[in-house]
């Protein structure tokens, strides 16, 4: 590899897309350009024709993704002043499952005049939560049939995932379903727009669409049991050809070269998911290594050398994160979200609360929380669970509550780490990345104290874009100045911060005792011992009617 | 009774004493004068000699009570312009158990030069909570000996009560104990200062000092079992002569006539307690009637015609509230306190929060709380219980939490009402008084909806002072222009507001369902099913060392 070569990584987030230029030599980030989606998250009404959406819907406009190519990449090139000819690869990552129906040529159904007023023709964003009845049906049918793949998903298929959303289209808009020649992840769709060739990546196929390298998709009989019209969904709307991440999807076509200002023929990597692509960007490429992407929620990506059944994880996919390894995913649905809720609801500001919370000793507040403001994604896999705070007195202060909420999310991570280890998937080292670790020292120290582990932090503050650029470099290959594998790319381009967080010996005992209380309440309220959270939700739903 | 006659009621509160002039004819309040105690609550250091106090201590200066006579009463007379000769009786009420050690002539030990630097020589205020070890000993010894009186106190003697505090003096300051010729309620002490004669009232003796009309005090053997030096505490430091409330304690002596500007010889009623004296002032004089004094905490006073064992009540005392009836007391240790905590901790203001909370429907928030910020006084009698809030999501708002806290205290009251009824003490009507009912319509409506009962509100906003004046009128007697019984006085002088709060039919079902959840969590966390609250408190104590 010669110096002066670059790759572009493009990270498609929930509110914006951001393109980053990365030096292949050492992973240096030369610049980033962001495009704020003009329609953002569409969750109240469609941009056209004043069509109102039901609760729990969340859509996007696929044109916003194209505008990210058209606006962010040229701006990135202009601002960094790099010769486009020195950009040898492009990679993208996306939120997932974010999916859409298209014509055979990739035209999104929602751009057709006759369908633009039809909500089901649009992109269903990852946090579209209206397909719960379909998820319930998938779980019931899978359990009844004893589908073996269910264990790979912690025993529960999510309403956020591909077949829940696809089945909702069939249930509620059979015409849209019939009209769709293809249904695919937006991640794969944007790569298709870049290269002109349709590909399906192993990461989203594995984590969101029940595909596995060894067994492929579930059998048609399973889909037929969901709905006879759904029997051939894979062959009719999808593809059995799934390409491992790390492969090349194709090269920039003339059209996308014109959008971006990059040379046509530039290699483009197979699509990836924002969380999963962060692993190699955070140096996590070997079995036993875990990356925790910490932001509004936590996502845990762990590599293993074998497939094990782990209670309530999100999924395990061979080749899902690093080719040749088993990538395990778990998550906590509320982390930064909960801290933000507290600040919004109870005033104050994060910096002030953190400063005061940092002066407290563990256990001193007498408080404990269950961090289920957004439900529990792993290990219980129950979106209807709710938050709990216990131990308040007249002397309880806002910083004490703030610290307790941080501690609760740390306990939640410990539950996940221990679940993996108990199931025979070792967790040897942990790297944190994402928005929170770099700016919240207290949070990191508490996570170290609670888990009893040394925590490293990724050097990059935008690991998804860096990871995507790394996959772009792998798509190019060593022969073209890139790398031949993501492990090679990670070795040179991914870095850790010099400082780590080590457990404070004096805090371990108190946190072990508080954790024992957390686990008992977790099991009591999360495993059906006391059903108050569901009862409250049921009463709430009825009274809102 | 002729018109133009008055009584003075003096209410000794936690921060101030207030004297009110009341017309005997109809209970009209002509004026009130308040004296803010110069030393207030002494809970950090003594006023002299820079003596620091231990945590949980709360003392007062008895001179502040005398200054209330000297400053508030003359000011009241001046401001109302009433001829002192038309004041025919004086009554007082006090916080309880608020007690002090004195010499044989009533001189408080803390005014002696050699003892003023000794914390145990001062008045121990009701909320002095440092005698918990002594209360624990009293409960253990009573249980071991099978003392029959324990059932009259819901099975638990409080650290706030007389013998806990007296025993703490013996334990920690035996010299002070030895020096004390008398130990008595401040209520009785101020009456002593007015009349020159020592009396002991049946209300504090019954509710705080284990006295009963039929059995007297516990036997000396019980006190000896606590400490051999404590064997004769009743005969050595107290008095077996207990005077029923409604009796005359004596008349104003020359000295106190000079303090107050009232004629010497004016009848003075036996002392009373602020909560209990509120009952007749709120029209509550017949069996089956309950008054709830709602403020920072709730106190429930219920009249019955027989003695029943009720789980976890504060006490039942014959002649304790109205002569000839059994007065039951129960309480909730945190009510307005909890709402104030929320406003302090989470910002906002009561009026705004109430306005927004009033727009919500029951059950709509999906939240539920246990109202134990200050522990649970009745039915569980456990000061170490803590608050709990469950059901939070990212959409939970501050007004939703505020409403949930109000609902939790209403559920707490319903538990108490149902406990009485289950034990065979009917609750036929409920009158609210105190600081909250007059200004918090939402709170009153929620209490009506949750309990399913019509709630009346006392006409007076200062029922303790009115009640004390009523007892002053009874001390004078009908022959002198007063009344012969508190029932007679109540009939003429006590009033209800015209408006009442009736249960909203549409809210009953949801509140019944939420109450079922409340009761289950109440029993789970309050009766040992899950001990997290105590464990958190234990950890908290250890980490604070």
- Residues 309-338, chain A, touching B (beta carbon < 8 A): 334, 337-338
- Chain A residue with Cα closest to B363: A540
Instruction: Name the residue of chain B whose CA is nearest to A537's CA.
Output: B366
Q: What separation, in Å, do the N-terminal and C-terminal C-alpha atoms of chain B show?
A: 63
Span A158-186, pLDDT tens digits = 999 999 999 999 999 999 999 999 999 99
* Rounded Cα–Cα distance for residues B468 and B201 (Å): 13
Q: Are strands A368-370 and A387-392 parallel, antiparallel or unpaired?
A: antiparallel
pLDDT at A382: 87
Tell which of B361, B372, B392 to mutate to test the A interface (max A CBs under 10 Å): B392
Chain A nearest C-alpha distance from B186 (Å): 27
Enter the tokens of residue A458: 């990724």
E-state strands within B405-502: 429-433, 455-457
Q: Residue A2's pLDDT band (boundaries 50, 70, 90)? A: very low
Which residue in A513, A514, A543 is closest to B363 by CB distance? A543
d(CA B236, CA B231): 9
Is B143 an interface residue toward A (CB < 8 Å)? Answer: no
Q: Burial level of A313, CB count in 10 A (0-12/13-18/19+)?
A: buried
Alpha carbon distance B293, B285 (integer Å): 15
Nearest-neighbour CA in chain A from B540: distance (Å): 5
B120 to chain A, closest Cα gap in Å: 26
Report the residue of chain A nearest B346, measured CA to CA.
A346
A/B interface, count of CB pairs below 8 Å: 158
Contact A338 B398 (CB under 8 A): no
**CA distances to B273, B458, B471, B484 from B490, in Å:** 17, 12, 10, 11
Q: Report the pLDDT value the prediction gives residue B2, as an integer from 0 to 100.
A: 41
Q: CA of A390 to nearest chain B CA: how many angstroms apart?
A: 4
Q: What are the tens digits of pLDDT across the range A115-124?
A: 999 999 999 9
Nearest residue of chain B to residue A538 (CA atoms): B366
Q: Is A430 within 8 Å of A456 (Cβ atoms)?
A: yes
Q: Under an 8 A CB cutoff, do B513 and A334 touch? A: no
- Identify the weakest region by mean pLDDT among A73-82, A411-420, A512-521, B124-133: B124-133
Average pLDDT over chain A, rounded to whole?
96
**Residues of A in Cβ contact (< 8 Å) with B398:** 345-346
Task: Find out whether B264 and B254 touch, Cβ atoms under 8 Å.
Answer: yes
Using pLDDT thresholds of 50, 70 and 90, give the confidence band for residue A545.
low
Contacts of A105 by beta carbon, 8 Å cutoff, 6+ apart: none
Alpha-carbon span A76 to A84, nearest angstrom:
10
- Residue A453 to residue A446: CA distance in whole angstroms: 10
Task: State how far the Cα of B120 lies from the Cα of A43, in Å rounded to an integer.
Answer: 66
What does the pLDDT profile of chain B (545 residues) look like in tens digits?
A: 345 899 999 999 999 999 999 999 999 999 999 999 999 999 999 998 889 999 889 999 999 999 999 999 999 999 999 999 999 999 999 999 999 999 999 999 999 999 999 999 999 999 998 999 999 999 999 999 999 999 999 888 999 999 999 999 999 999 999 999 999 999 999 999 999 999 999 999 999 999 999 999 999 999 999 999 999 999 999 999 999 999 999 999 999 999 999 999 999 999 999 999 999 999 999 999 999 999 999 999 999 999 999 998 999 999 999 999 999 999 999 999 999 999 999 988 999 999 999 999 999 999 999 999 999 999 998 888 999 999 999 999 999 999 999 999 999 999 999 999 999 999 999 999 998 998 899 999 999 999 999 999 999 999 999 999 999 999 999 999 999 999 999 999 999 999 999 999 999 999 999 999 999 999 999 999 999 999 999 999 898 76
Among the partner-chain residues A386, A396, A540, the one whose CB lies closest to the CB of B390 is A386
pLDDT at A462 over 90: yes
Instruction: Give pLDDT tens digits for A200-252.
Output: 999 999 999 999 999 999 999 999 999 999 999 999 999 999 999 999 999 99
pLDDT at residue A283 tops 50: yes
Q: Which chain A residues are closer than 8 Å to B389 by Cβ? A: 388-390, 392
pLDDT the model gives residue A61: 98
> What residues of B are in contact with residue A394 (Cβ under 8 Å)?
334, 337-338, 341, 373-374
* Closest partner CB to A539 (pick from B386, B389, B513): B513
A345 touches chain B (CB under 8 A): yes
Tokens 């686990």, residue located: A519
Q: What is the DSSP string of B226-290?
A: H-GGGTTHHHHHS-S--BPTTSEEEE--HHHHHHHSSPTT-EEEPPEEHHHHHHHHTT--STTEE
Cβ–Cβ gap B536/A386 under 8 Å: no
Give the number of other Cβ atoms within 10 Å of residue A256's Cβ.
24
What residues 380-399 of chain A have any CB closer than 8 A to a CB of chain B?
386-394, 396-398
Nearest-by-Cβ selection for B374 from A393, A517, A533 = A393
What is residue B144's predicted lDDT score, i.e. its pLDDT?
A: 97
Give the three-state DSSP class for A283. coil
- Contact state of A543 with B510 under an 8 Å Cβ cutoff: yes
* B408 in contact with chain A, both atoms CB, cutoff 8 A: no
A140 in contact with chain B, both atoms CB, cutoff 8 A: no
The residue of chain B nearest to residue A541, with distances taken between CA atoms, is B364
DSSP string, A431-480: EEESTTTTT-HHHHHHHHHHHTS-EEEBS-S-HHHHHHHHHHHHHH-GGG
Distance from the Cα of A195 to chain B's closest Cα (Å) equals: 40
Q: Is the pLDDT score of A543 beyond 90?
A: no
Q: Which among A364, A530, A535 is the nearest to B540, CB-wise?
A: A364
CA A318 – CA A230 distance, rounded (Å): 26
The nearest alpha carbon in chain A to B517 belongs to A532
CA atoms within 13 A on the CB side of B212: 19
Q: Could you tell me which residues come within 8 angstroms of residue B167 by beta carbon, excluding any fewer than 6 positions away?
A: B131, B134, B137, B138, B226, B227, B230
**pLDDT surpasses 80 at A361:** yes
CB < 8 Å to B539, chain A: 363, 366, 510, 513-514
Residues of A in contact with B508 (CB under 8 A): none
- Tell me how close the Cα of A464 comes to any Cα of chain B, in angstroms: 26
d(CA A72, CA A32): 8
Mutant choice from A403, A543, A544, A545 vs B, greatest count of B C-beta within 10 A: A543
A-chain residues near B513 (CB < 8 A): 535, 539
The residues pairing with A31 across neighbouring beta strands, listed in sequence order, are: A21
Of A347, A366, A543, the CB nearest to B386: A366
Neighboring chain B residues of A533 at a CB cutoff of 8 Å: 390-391
Distance of CA A110 to the CA centre of its chain: 25
Q: Which of residues 455-514 of A touch B (CB under 8 A)?
A: 510, 513-514
User: Residue B509: closest CA among chain A residues belongs to which residue?
Assistant: A539
User: H helices within A264-335, ranges in order?
Assistant: 274-281
pLDDT at B545: 63
Q: Among candidates B319, B313, B60, B1, which has minimal Cα distance to B187?
A: B60
Tell me which H or E stretch contains A23. Answer: strand A16-23
């Amino acid at each position: 590899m010669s110096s002066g070569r670059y790759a572009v990584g493009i990270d498609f987030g929930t509110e914006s897309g951001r393109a980053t230029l990365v030096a292949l030599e050492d992973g240096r980030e030369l610049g980033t350009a962001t495009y704020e989606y003009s329609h953002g998250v569409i969750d109240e009404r469609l941009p056209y024709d004043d069509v109102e959406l039901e609760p729990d819907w969340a859509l996007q406009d696929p044109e916003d993704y194209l505008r990210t190519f058209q606006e962010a990449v040229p701006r990135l090139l202009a601002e960094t002043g790099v010769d486009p000819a020195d950009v040898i690869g492009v990679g993208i990552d996306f939120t997932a499952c974010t999916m859409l129906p298209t014509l055979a040529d990739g035209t999104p159904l929602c751009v057709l005049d006759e369908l633009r007023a039809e909500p089901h023709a649009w992109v269903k964003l990852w946090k579209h939560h209206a397909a719960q009845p379909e998820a319930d049906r998938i779980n019931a049918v899978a359990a009844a049939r004893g589908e073996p793949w269910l264990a790979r998903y912690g025993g529960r298929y999510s309403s956020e995932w591909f077949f829940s959303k696809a089945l909702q289209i069939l249930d509620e808009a059979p015409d849209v379903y019939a009209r769709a020649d293809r249904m695919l992840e937006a991640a794969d769709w944007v790569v298709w727009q870049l290269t002109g060739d349709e590909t399906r990546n192993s990461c989203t196929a594995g984590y969101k669409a029940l595909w596995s390298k060894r067994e492929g998709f579930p059998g048609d009989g399973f889909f037929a049991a969901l709905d006879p019209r759904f029997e051939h969904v894979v062959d009719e709307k999808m593809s059995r050809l799934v390409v491992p991440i790390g492969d090349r999807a194709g090269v920039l076509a003339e059209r996308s070269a014109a959008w971006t200002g990059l040379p046509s023929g530039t290699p483009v990597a197979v699509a990836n998911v924002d969380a999963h692509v962060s692993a190699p960007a955070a140096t996590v490429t070997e079995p036993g290594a875990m990356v925790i992407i910490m932001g509004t929620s936590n996502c845990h990506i762990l590599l293993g050398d074998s497939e094990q059944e782990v209670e309530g994880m999100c999924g395990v996919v061979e080749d899902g994160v690093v080719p040749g390894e088993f990538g395990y995913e778990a998550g906590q649905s509320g982390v930064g979200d909960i801290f933000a809720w507290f600040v919004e609801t109870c005033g104050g500001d994060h910096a002030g609360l953190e400063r005061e919370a940092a002066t407290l000793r563990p256990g001193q507040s007498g408080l404990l929380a269950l961090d289920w403001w957004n439900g529990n994604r792993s290990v219980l896999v129950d979106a209807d669970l709710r938050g709990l705070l216990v131990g308040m007195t007249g002397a309880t202060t806002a910083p004490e509550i703030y610290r307790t909420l941080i501690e609760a999310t740390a306990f939640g991570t410990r539950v996940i780490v221990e679940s993996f280890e108990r199931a025979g998937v070792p967790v040897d080292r942990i790297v944190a990345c994402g928005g929170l670790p770099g700016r919240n020292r207290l949070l990191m120290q508490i996570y170290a104290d609670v888990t009893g582990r040394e925590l490293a932090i990724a050097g990059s503050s935008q690991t998804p874009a860096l990871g995507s650029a790394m996959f772009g470099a792998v798509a190019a290959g060593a022969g073209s100045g890139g790398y031949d594998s993501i492990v090679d790319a990670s070795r040179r381009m991914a870095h850790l911060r010099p400082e780590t967080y080590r457990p404070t010996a004096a805090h371990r005992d108190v946190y072990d005792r508080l954790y024992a209380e957390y686990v008992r309440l977790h099991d009591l309220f999360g495993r059906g011992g006391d059903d108050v959270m569901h009862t409250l939700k049921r009463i709430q739903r009825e009274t809102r009617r």
